Chains A and B, each alone.
Chain A
Amino acid sequence: MRIILHIWRQRNATDQGRMTRYEVPNVSEHMSFLEMLDVLNEDLIAKNEEPVAFDHDCREGICGMCGCMVNGVAHGPLPGTTLCQLHMRHFKDGDELYLEPWRARAFPVVKDLVVDRTAFDRLIAAGGFISVSTGSAPDGNAMLVPKEKSELSMDAAACIGCGACVAMCPNASASLFMAAKIAHLALLPQGQPERERRVKAMVGQAGQELFGSCTNIGECEAVCPKEIKLEVIARMNRDFLKASWTGREE
């Protein structure tokens, strides 16, 4: 099949940027979306045009490196799927697709479809961890975790940090990302000692970054490739409220 692409081209952070039209003839339905971009890039190189820069690594939907907007939807039309796992059998001959980078002030564009997501790392550094010095942990079975709790915790921990939630949110809020980590750790007995400090520190850090606030729109949940549920945000809000009322200044 033949696919028409309009791709955001931007040389660097200060360049204005513009959409450019390309055609990819001979797209096979078995190709992944990124393989189609590979084919386009090989074509561009043959014509002495610079290939389109896009982030990717595992191509298995787990590293969280890939992603762009496809016709206004983060990671494209298939629910619960990263861009690298989206296959061309979901498109048809002659489709026109508009590819843009994540759009959020907290994620400045680096080049073409590549953005800077280091703000996510800073959120984790603020408190998204359990402090346990290497070698000090008790036996793994010393602390029992009910299966249901462990499954819920794993649901939240499945987040791959791709940034689709922020890109899709009209407020560019990082709530789903942040709440997924907070819920993952708060659901486990190991996460209790630092539970209140963690939520306060992370929410505080989000305020320092250029993310917006959550107004419960739910676009994030709709595009999350790992199908993280909005309920994690409810858990975060409850913990935050509690910590804000009962916590003491340190």
Chain B
Amino acid sequence: MQLDSKCPTGPIETRWERHQFNLKLVNPANKRKHTIIVVGSGLAGGAGAATLAELGYNVKCFCFQDSPRRAHSIAAQGGINAAKNYHNDGDSVFRLFYDTVKGGDFRARESNVYRLAQISLNIIDQCVGQGVPFAREYSGYLDNRSFGGAQVSRTFYARGQTGQQLLLGAYQALEKQIGRGQVTMFPRTEMLDLIVIDGRARGIVTRNLITGKIESHLADAVVLGTGGYGNVYYLSTNAKGCNATAIWRAHKRGALFANPCFTQIHPTCIPVSGEYQSKLTLMSESLRNDGRVWVPLKKGDKRPPGQIPAAERDYFLERKYPSFGNLVPRDVASRNAKQVCDEGRGVGETGLAVYLDFAESIERLGASVIKERYGNLFDMYERITGEDPYKVPMRIFPAIHYTMGGLWVDYNLMSNVPGLYVTGEANFSDHGANRLGASALMQGLADGYFVLPNTINDYLASTKLEKADTSHAAVKEAEANVNSITQKLLATKGTRSVDSYHRELGKIMWEYCGMARTAEGLKTALSQIPGLREQFWRDVKVLGTGEELNQSLEKAGRVADFLELAELLCLDALERNESCGGHFREEYQTPEGEAQRDDENYSYAAAWEFRGVGLRPELHKEPLTFEYVHPAQRSYK
């Protein structure tokens, strides 16, 4: 299979503009004749569905929550990047582009990233227009803060609820179109299969989560904005419902899965407190602006933090990375935290935590300024841990947070299955091997508001689609597939709950495919996962029926998919014999312990083709070339 990224060439500044000009358009009267399915109502899906409807397309939008407003994007705290240079601190589109390519450790396409940086400007305007209450200065102008991996202040924010406010903007735009009848919304409806007719994506099979009814929906194109797969690790900062089912089942229908091993670990999460732990809570990275990270210098120092004098503390990030200090990118901060804990210098009951200390900032700026900046985060921390971060330092530890990998898409955001588009965290497109903070919201909205609505026209205008109805053999086959999975899960009547399998899978993944990976560990994981999967199908216990709200059944389907995806993730990690971004292979590091890339052999996107459960997938490589930002070892010293 030849992978064509369809990236434009020539001067990078005008690539997107020239590309848009070359795309075919659909005239307004004809838009009415097309129906587009959008799965997902997060920033990517919601913004896309609203904009496509506004353009005149008929849109069917799906989400598994009870309302489109609850998509996981709602939980993003810190902010959204844009190269506005409102602060005259040297920012520019080119700098955002440069930072993102470098931050991604040279594993993303230059054309995509440049476009993203350009569109970042329009996103802020659009969101302000919608009434997103971004933070303001006293003058009334928009305020900014800085974020990991950047030396300029380009992050726009709405207290610690940026994702919520951006999503509500998109949700309100979507609801307006629902009110007009231009979008039909299907909440509490889960996509369980992709319908491919004559090689093109033409629809989806869904389950109504309240009645259990299996239904097929047909359209001219299908868009998946279904989020990331971080929950393959069980414990992550993602919402409990986040899952890979939509993209995984599309993968099984032919869509290539790219760079699955590029997963991101977030350095500032509240540490695990017990076996019952159901998820991990992120403390926004923006806290690193004013908090200082440290551990005791001495191993096993059990004194309370206040009794450890400054001279006996190790501010390890400031020490090792004097120019970025506490603001080094996420992968660097996470690995260093793990390292000091491995050395026996971790803090808290489990020894798996480091301090994030605000004492100095509170002294310098006053508690009221800190409260204004991070009040809700401090409250959340206190609610969860019972400790007051205004008085004692926070304890933090890294956790799985984001997945850079996802379905392979070209510059138009179309997968290798014609008519199947993938947006937001669900695709692999813009962040390479590591995503910079505040860039996921930017990408989701860029894809949804500005890229997809332009590129999808080209496909619809240049493709002649046969009429299809739900009696088509491909539809019947997909429905039968979904029914058989449901029946099998219910009929197994084994001994162990779905969660117990999910937890066990998560432990394998965190242990062998987490923050630091080795060939040996990955091989161990690859030998354990198939056995666990086989046991799951033999022994899982799902009570109740398929004709009602059945939350165990929903989870079972998702865990079944995670059990397959996990294997691909480990395989990809094993094949990539280099360290880059979030993928750290212990065998490949510099003498100082930094990630050692191998550009000669691994400067490509790994796109995997499904061959059958348990069978070795086929690897396709999309080579990456860099004309503007020259690969160098990332240095934040």
Contacts and interface: CB of A to CB of B under 8 A. Distances in A.
Interface of A: 11-12, 28-32, 34-35, 38-39, 42, 45-46, 48-51, 53, 55-65, 78, 80-81, 85-87, 89, 110-111, 114, 116-118, 120-121, 124-126, 128-141, 143-147, 150, 153-154, 157-158, 160-161, 184-185, 188, 190-191
B539 interface: no
Given A59-B240, A147-B140, A129 B124 contact: no
Contacts of B273: 28, 30
Given A53-B551, A147-B138, A150-B133, A157 B543 contact: no
B176 A125 contact: yes
Contact of B276 (A38, A46, A150): A38
Contacts of B168: 157
B249 interface: no
B598 interface: no
B537 interface: no
Contact of A140 (B124, B131, B279, B384): B124
A197 B241 CA distance: 37
Contact of B51 (A45, A48, A134): A134
The 10 closest A-B CB pairs, nearest first, are A137-B129, A144-B140, A129-B172, A125-B179, A132-B129, A125-B175, A154-B133, A140-B128, A137-B125, A57-B239
B25 interface: no
Given A58-B75, A81-B383, A134-B126, A35 B67 contact: no
Given A62-B164, A121-B187, A138-B129, 17 more contacts: A30-B386, A56-B240, A57-B240, A57-B241, A58-B75, A63-B70, A111-B548, A120-B67, A125-B179, A129-B175, A135-B122, A135-B126, A144-B141, A145-B140, A146-B138, A147-B140, A153-B131
14 contacts: A42-B497, A50-B543, A59-B279, A60-B281, A65-B66, A86-B383, A87-B386, A110-B549, A114-B549, A124-B175, A134-B450, A140-B127, A153-B133, A185-B131
Given A59-B239, A150-B135, A89 B386 contact: yes
Interface in B140-185: 140-142, 156, 158-159, 161, 164-165, 168, 171-173, 175-176, 178-179, 185
B199 interface: no
Interface in B373-396: 379-380, 383-384, 386
Task: State which size class the interface on B falls in.
Answer: 35 or more
B367 interface: no
A31 B240 CA distance: 16
Given A85-B383, A125-B178, A188-B133, A51 B551 contact: yes
A191 to B, nearest CB: 5
A133 B51 CA distance: 8
Contacts of A55: 66
A64 B171 CA distance: 14
Nearest to A38: B278
B75 A28 contact: no
A148 to B, nearest CB: 9
A144 B129 contact: no
Interface of B: 47, 50-51, 54, 65-70, 72, 74-75, 84, 86, 122, 124-131, 133-142, 156, 158-159, 161, 164-165, 168, 171-173, 175-176, 178-179, 185, 187, 210, 239-241, 273-274, 276-279, 281-282, 379-380, 383-384, 386, 449-450, 453, 497, 499-500, 541, 543-544, 548-549, 551-552
B277 to A, nearest CB: 7
Contacts of A130: 129-131, 172
Contacts of B142: 140-141
Contacts of B84: 140-141
A62 B161 contact: yes
Nearest to B47: A134
B133 A64 contact: no
A186 B497 CA distance: 49
A116 B129 contact: no
Contact of A65 (B65, B128, B279, B282): B65
A53 B549 contact: yes
Given A111-B549, A121-B175, A134 B125 contact: no
B136 A146 contact: yes
A184 B241 CA distance: 29
B140 A134 contact: no
A38 B380 contact: no
A35 B278 contact: yes
Contact of B133 (A49, A136, A184): A184
B135 to A, nearest CB: 7
A58 B125 CA distance: 28
A83 B179 CA distance: 31
Given A62-B74, A134-B453, A154-B133, A51 B552 contact: yes
A83 to B, nearest CB: 12
Nearest to A59: B279
A76 B201 CA distance: 47
A75 to B, nearest CB: 12
Contact of B131 (A57, A80, A184): A184
Given A118-B66, A147-B140, A190 B130 contact: yes
Contacts of B129: 130, 132, 136-138, 190
A147 B136 contact: yes
Contact of B543 (A45, A87, A138): A45
Contacts of A157: 133, 158, 165, 168
Contacts of B185: 121
A48 B453 contact: no
Contacts of A28: 273-274, 276
| Residue of B84, B179, B187, B273 most packed against chain A (CB within 10 A) | B179
Nearest to A63: B70
A121 B176 CA distance: 10
B557 to A, nearest CB: 16
A138 B133 contact: no
Contacts of B131: 130, 153, 184-185, 188, 190-191
B504 to A, nearest CB: 14
Contact of B548 (A12, A34, A129, A145): A12
Contacts of A35: 276-278
Contacts of A42: 497, 499-500
Given A58-B72, A62-B164, A140-B128, A161 B67 contact: yes
Contacts of B544: 50
A150 B185 CA distance: 31
Contacts of B178: 121, 125
B459 to A, nearest CB: 19
B69 A161 contact: yes
Given A53-B549, A110-B549, A64 B69 contact: yes
Nearest to A130: B131
A132 B124 CA distance: 13
A93 B124 CA distance: 51
A51 B543 contact: yes
B65 to A, nearest CB: 6
Contacts of A140: 84, 124-125, 127-128, 134, 142, 156
A5 to B, nearest CB: 16
B384 A85 contact: yes
A63 B74 contact: yes
B134 A150 contact: yes
A23 B133 CA distance: 45
Given A51-B543, A147-B140, A139 B278 contact: no
B437 to A, nearest CB: 17
A116 B541 contact: no
Contacts of B279: 59
B4 to A, nearest CB: 28
Contacts of A153: 131, 133
Contact of A60 (B133, B172, B380, B551): B380
